[in-house]
Structure formats: C-alpha cells, structure tokens
Amino acid sequence: MPDLSLNKKAKRLRIYISERDRWHGVALDTAILMVMRESGTAGATEFHGIQGFGAHSLIHTVRQEVGAIDLPVVIEAVDTPEKIASLVELVYPMVREGLITTEDVEIVKYTHRYLNPLPADKSISEVMTRAVVTLTPGMTVHEAWALMLKEQVKAAPVIDAERRVAGILTDEDLLERAGIQQRLSVAIRMDAEELNQELHSLQSSPLKVSDVMTQPAVTAAEDEMLGEVTTRMVKHGLKRLPVVDGAGRLVGVISRLDILRQVAQIDYVVPAQHLHTGAVQTVADIMSSHIPMVSQDDDLALIIEKFSQSDSYRLIVVDGEGKAVGLISDSDVVARVQPAKRRGVLAALRNIGKPPAGRETAFDLMSPGVITASPETPVVDALKRMLAESRKWLVVVNAQGQPLGLVDRQLMLEAMVAGNTTV
C-alpha cells in the first residue's frame, strides 16, 4: 500500500459532473464514491454547487423549481500519484459528460480518527493513570531511589508545592548522573542485603532530585486527544508523559502501556480498505530485523559478551536447529546465577569487570515459553497476545520456528501512528 504522508508527493483528483448523471442505474456521484472507497483511496469529498453551467452553456441553479434541479457536482480526492493514476483509469469510462482534472498538491497535515486502530479522538483523561508516585525537587537521590524501588516505578514526575511539574526522574537519569548501579528491573531481583548495600552507598551523596532529573518534562494536557499525545510520545521517544490541567498541575500520567491497552480492549477491526493509506497491517511491517541471539548452550561469559555487543537488555535463545526457545534478560541472569557470583555479574554487565566463571548456560538462565508469531500476523492480534501474557517482546518466526525479527512495545506504539502526519 503506498504511503500518504508529509514530505511525500501527492495529487488531487477532481471530477466535475451533474446531479442527474447515472451509471448503470445508480447516481454517478454515488457510483464514483463507491469505486474510490473500494479501491482503498485515502478519502474523498463531494461538493454540490448552487449554480453553474457546462459544455451546453445551460445555467443550472438551485433557485429553479425543485423538479428541474440539475446542479453541478464536484468529487475531490487526494492520494499518492500512483493511486490517483489508477483512479483515473477506473472513473474515466464512467464520466460520459463532465471534466476530470489532476494536479500536484503539498500534504500539510493528514490525520485520521483511527490510528491503526487506536481511537485517536478519545481524550487522554479517559485513559491516563491518576494514581501517580511523585517526587519533589528537594528529595535526595537516596530518598528518590528508595521510593522508586519500593513502588517499583521506573519513572516519577517531580512536582513543586503547587503540584506543577518541574521535571521527571527515571532510573536512566539515576544511572547516568546519580551513581546507581543498575536499572530498576535488575535491582528489584536482587536480594534485600544487596539492595540495602546499594542504598547505603547513596546516603552520602549530596545530589538532589533537581540535580539529576530530566527537565523540562514533556507533558500532555488532560483535554488533549489520544492521537495527538501518542504522536508526541513517538516523536520524542518517550514511554510516558505527565498529564497536567489548565494551571499546569499534575493530574495523572499517560504511559505507553495505557495507550496500547486501548487497542487491546476495544474489539474493533478496521477493514484494510478503510485504513488511511500507508497504515501497517502485519508484524512483518514493523519488526526489527536486528536479532540479538544466543545459543541455549552458550555459557555465562558468552551471554554477558552478547549483551555488551547487542546493546540490548534481552537476547533470544535458540536451540541447535535455530528455533526460538526462550528469552533471557539481564535481570534473568542476575536473579538466577548463584548469589556468590551476582556482584561479579553486575559488574560485568556494566562493563567494569570480567564475568565470573561458571557452567550456567543460556538454557539454565532464560525465561522459557517465548511467544512467537508468523510474519503475516496482524499487528493488533500480536499486541493483544503480548499484553495478555505480559510480554514486552514478540519473536517473528518463519515456518520452521527460526527468528526473522523482533517486535516490542515501542515498535507497537510507533505502528499506531504509522502514516499519521499530524504535526
């Protein structure tokens, strides 16, 4: 399906006919619109004039008697040059008396009520999470990290005394600027003694939340539409946005997961011909072909090396025939190695030490039961399965079960706005 988006060439088709024109016993304007819809045109509009004349020089006007009305009709469509060219071939024999024109146009904005098939016109106030863990600028990094660990949140809005958003603090901010040793997903799988030791190391830090938070935070207004906010999140590469009221006060958070759940909860299937041109349909359209893999027999040292080489927190585990049999994350490794090796593993994962020796294999450390899908699986069906099984990754496989690509939640979110050209 051709792409209709910003910075793409497009053409406008105009068809000038009369209200009384017929095609196989049906009003010609209706017949043309049906042809356009069935051919997958991005959209079409019909205009009725109040007065006009054609080749016969007869003036037709709405001010005549109703029974004599034969007003001019203009049908207009904008799409890719290829689509318009095919439409011209279809409607050319239908227009026995009239005029057909085409012209180049510039696409400034193109949006749709449904974004593959996200209900883009739903207010985010209907979707957002209202119970939000918050931080204050004056909190120490020790206090902030302890609270985030307790609540198991990877990010928290930072608010002032009037609940205005001053910034947002993520575990990545703390990794980069505050000296914590690992991401929250890894930290929560450490034992209590190890966590206490890490928190203790932060107690002497003079840093405050205001020193390390991301500011200013990208926010969303509570009365904004879901389509607008989703597009903004994708544009900035964000997983969540604080939601504010008219006075800039925090009222909630809209997350990537909140948005994706809307797609899974709504039992709505958009026929392909009704989707805007350029919409993705299958996991093959959105998958990443970069596949970080390890063999099920690879040892601990090689697994950690693969993590470093792939710049990924997860690896696909394949058997001797190359079939996907599981996924292994850095947190899986931390949780499942022997406690005596854990500190060495953590250091190696941060590239500040060599991995400890051990006979553990990827098969021993992985999470089995990886979910897979064929390339032709519809995006929405794949998403529903990922959410139902609380999985962040889905492996796209061929008929032999061998990996072809990966799909994660971020790629799913991007698929929701694929072809949307709202700026």
Count CB atoms within 10 A of the CB of residue 263: 22
Q: What is the pLDDT, as a whole number, of residue 135?
A: 97
Q: What is the pLDDT, as a whole number, of residue 9?
A: 77
Residue 214's pLDDT band, with cuts at 50, 70 and 90, is very high
Please state, in angstroms and rounded to a whole number, the distance separating the CA atoms of residues 322 and 371.
Answer: 15
In 57-190 the beta strands, taken as DSSP E runs, fall at: 59-61, 72-79, 99-106, 114-115, 118-119, 155-159, 165-170
In 120-237 the beta strands, taken as DSSP E runs, fall at: 155-159, 165-170, 220-221
Q: What is the pLDDT, as a whole number, of residue 192?
A: 79
Picking from 384, 366, 376, 373, the residue whose alpha carbon sits closest to that of residue 407 is 373
Q: What is the pLDDT, as a whole number, of residue 46?
A: 94
Give yes or no for residue 238 having a pLDDT over 50. yes
Q: What is the pLDDT, as a whole number, of residue 35?
A: 94
Q: What is the pLDDT, as a whole number, of residue 255?
A: 95
Q: Of the spans 27-41, 157-171, 176-190, 280-294, which averages the highest pLDDT?
A: 157-171
**For residue 172, what is the enclosing H or E element?**
helix 171-177
Q: How many percent of the chain have pLDDT more than 90?
A: 55
* Mean pLDDT taken over the chain: 85
Before 375, cis peptide (omega within 30)? no
- Up-side HSE of residue 198: CA atoms within 13 Å toward CB? 24
- Phi, psi (5° rounding) for residue 173? -60, -45
How confident is the model over 253-289, as pLDDT tens digits?
999 999 999 888 766 554 444 444 445 678 998 999 9
Q: What is the pLDDT, as a whole number, of residue 356?
A: 82
How confident is the model over 339-371, as pLDDT tens digits?
888 888 888 887 777 888 778 899 999 988 889
Please state, in angstroms and rounded to a whole number, the distance separating the CA atoms of residues 236 and 241.
Answer: 10
- Pairing mode, if any, of strands 314-318 and 293-295? parallel
How confident is the model over 56-76, as pLDDT tens digits?
555 555 544 444 457 899 999
Q: What is the pLDDT, as a whole number, of residue 181?
A: 77
Q: What is the pLDDT, as a whole number, of residue 394?
A: 94
Q: What is the pLDDT, as a whole number, of residue 56?
A: 56
Give CA angle at 319 (316, 323), nearest 5°: 70
Task: Give the lowest-confidence range in 4-8, 320-324, 341-345, 402-406.
Answer: 4-8
Please state, in angstroms and rounded to a whole number, the distance separating the CA atoms of residues 144 and 158.
Answer: 10
Give yes or no for residue 421 having a pLDDT over 60. no
Answer for the pair 183, 235: CB distance below 8 angstroms, yes or no. no
Q: What is the pLDDT, as a whole number, of residue 148?
A: 93
Residue 6's pLDDT band, with cuts at 50, 70 and 90, is very low
212: helix, coil or strand? helix
- Pairing mode, if any, of strands 324-329 and 314-318? antiparallel
Strand partners, 249: 164
The single-letter code of the amino acid at 206 is P
Classify residue 243 by its DSSP letter. Answer: E
The residue assigned the tokens 């209202």 is 130
Q: What is the pLDDT, as a whole number, of residue 111?
A: 58
- Up-side HSE of residue 197: CA atoms within 13 Å toward CB? 8
The single-letter code of the amino acid at 330 is D
Give yes or no for residue 413 having a pLDDT over 80. yes
Q: What is the pTM assigned to this prediction?
A: 0.70
Give yes or no for residue 53 having a pLDDT over 80. no
In the structure encoding, which two tokens stand for residue 224, read together?
A: 């904004």
Q: What is the pLDDT, as a whole number, of residue 116?
A: 64
Domains and CATH numbers, the chain: 9-108 (3.30.70.120), 124-274 (3.10.580.10), 283-410 (3.10.580.10)
The single-letter code of the amino acid at 79 is D
Q: What is the pLDDT, as a whole number, of residue 268?
A: 52
168 vs 20, 209, 235, CA distance in Å? 62, 9, 18
